[in-house]
Chain A
């Protein structure tokens, strides 16, 4: 079994694999990754397929995650860079049985068509509302400008963020949600 060798703040690959220890959706996680593997590929290989691979070049936003409270493109990150950090993917937000208010708002506003861009949009929305609970429309558009949608005209998604902002204000705060 490959082993992590920690030496002065470094991880060394063993048998051609790095061991990454990080907090994934609130759970301490250890995964093996190949050198050069992106976090996007590692997540998807590990069964978290809500994080989508649209372009793999940083242009579409479908691979958006939340990394230590900020948005990040998991296609532009080596998996090993997640070591020691907190990663939230769409699977960490809610479930079909118990959706997060942002997910509910996207459905309510009719902001979801094929759904491919939606995990990224929802995580970008979460990062926005965590910091700015009452964004203006230009602030919403600026915060979602890295998330491309081929189906909608963005209008419904802006509405969804506004609905989510209202809903979240009414909710008692839950840790990590």
Chain B
């Protein structure tokens, strides 16, 4: 039995944060609602719909590509900057969201704030060193993306605090990048692994590389030791294999522990392949 007795549509961030923090009330923020509707706690009494907050935008300046948290995947697909940024992997990841209706309804914010292992964007944006901007009690705070999933911040998001936008450093614009999702069928949300590799290259040398993994692990992660192996080197099969083995060895608890052997092998293959493809681009 739901206790919901108030549905509000604030038009400013201030109003929305105030609704979420109203004394004696238990509010839930709605983006597109694709997860919120089915996971609404029975104790929630207020639904705060973010639809009028105008958080759907994509902007570029000399420092960042900034994406509003309320941007739907369909809106992302329509933005020219997204088409080409970092070899087009943001576009590719939005295009691969499993259903047209979810692309029309679901937002980037919802994808990041409740980072189901299978979600595309936690892994992808981790590889691009994205930052998250969070509004909470009259202040906005910019934090590294991974902090969204910290035990301190995560419970506040959508109940007391709002993710307003994601900032992707301009330095990632021309990175040579690969996004690969490995699932039983192309149109499945659930997958075995999502790998993102983003590489800066100059004169036939990899200057730096980011390797991120989603899906196989409960929370998207990077592999600093494997990345360090690639920095400043010309990449060949042997080096890519070494880095991939390093990544596989660094895997923590898996999302599907019963398939550990298969998933570890798969991650190693996907990482090696993505490194070679990014370097060859």
The size of the chain A interface, using a CB distance under 8 A, is 36
Judging by beta carbons under 8 Å apart, are A76 and B33 in contact?
yes
Are A11 and B101 neighbours in the complex by a CB distance under 8 Å? no
Q: Is the CB of B99 within 8 A of A61?
A: yes
Tell me the B residues contacting A by CB distance below 8 Å: 1-11, 15, 30, 33-34, 37-38, 40, 47, 49, 52, 74, 95, 98-102, 104-105, 187
Q: In the complex, A73 Cα to B98 Cα: how many Å? A: 14
Q: CB of A13 within 8 A of chain B?
A: yes
Can you list 14 A-B contacts (CB < 8 A)? Answer: A9-B8, A13-B6, A58-B101, A59-B99, A70-B104, A71-B105, A73-B101, A73-B105, A76-B33, A76-B37, A76-B38, A142-B100, A146-B101, A146-B102
Q: Given the known A-B contacts A9-B11, A146-B101, are A78 and B5 also in contact in the complex, defined by CB atoms under 8 Å?
A: no
Residues of B within 8 A of A12 (CB): 5-6
Instruction: Report yes or no: B34 in contact with A76, Cβ–Cβ below 8 A.
Output: yes
- Chain A residues with Cβ under 8 A from B38's Cβ? 57-58, 76
Closest to A20 in B: B7
A40-B88 Cα distance, complex, nearest whole Å: 36
**Least CB separation from A9: chain B residue:** B9
For chain B, what secondary structure do more than half of its interface residues adopt (helix, strand, loop), or is it mixed?
A: loop
Residues of A within 8 A of B (CB): 8-13, 16, 18, 34-36, 38, 57-59, 61, 64, 70-73, 76-78, 80-81, 83-84, 124, 127, 142-147
Q: A12–B30 Cα gap in the complex (Å)?
A: 17
Instruction: Flag if B6 contacts A11 (CB, 8 Å).
Output: yes
Residue from A8, A38, A127 in contact with B8 in the complex, judged by beta carbons closer than 8 Å: A8
Cβ–Cβ contact A83 & B7, under 8 A: yes
For A56, give the chain B residue with the smallest CB separation.
Answer: B38
Closest to B100 in A: A146
Cross-chain contact A145 with B187 (CB below 8 angstroms): yes
Known: A12-B5, A58-B34, A73-B105. A80 touches B47 (CB 8 A): yes
